[in-house]
Amino acid sequence: MLPNFESAYILRRLCRKTANLLLLGSFLSVALFSSAQEVTIQEYPTPNGATPDDITVGPDRALWFTAPGAFQEIGRMATDGTGTMYPLPDLCCPTWITTGPDGALWFTVSNKIGRMTTRGVVERYYTLPLGTLLQDLTVQSGSRS
């Protein structure tokens, strides 16, 4: 079972403050909000020493993160600590990432919003007007009328 959105948000903020490590272990966010149970935290180095900026739980239950810095990539960390990095050719500074209701990962780079499959394939970009400053990316729950 995936953590609820509030828990994922808190996990995202924890990982942003943790340089070069992702915290895993029955998804830490779930353990933080359960009743008095013993919590086990596993620490794994990120692939290629990347520094995660934003993080989300993907539809495949892995942790997906943006790695702006020198890498300009999106990373995936499985719960067993196996990591993969996916380069974003010709794009600068992936910042925010979230899981969409369509089972894809949505992320921001500069003034673009991108869609990536869980295989690491970027399928498309949506370009926003120049000067657009994206502060976060989230999924709207419910339907629009």
**Residue at 132 is within a domain:** no
Residue 85 belongs to some domain of the structure: yes
**pLDDT value of position 1:** 40
pLDDT of residue 110: 80
100: CATH: 2.130.10.10
Domain for residue 144, yes or no? no
Asked if the structure places residue 44 within a domain, the reply is: yes
Segments forming the whole domain that contains residue 59: 5-127
Does residue 89 lie in a domain region?
yes
Q: Which of 40, 41, 60, 63 is nearest to 52 (CA)?
A: 63
Residue 118 lies in a domain: yes
What pLDDT, in 10s, does the model give residues 54-84?
999 999 999 999 988 777 899 999 989 999 9
Assigned domain for 19 exists? yes
Task: Say which residues have a Cβ less than 8 Å from residue 44's Cβ, sequence separation at least 6.
Answer: 21, 22, 24, 77, 81, 83
Integer Cα distance of 70 and 47 in angstroms: 13
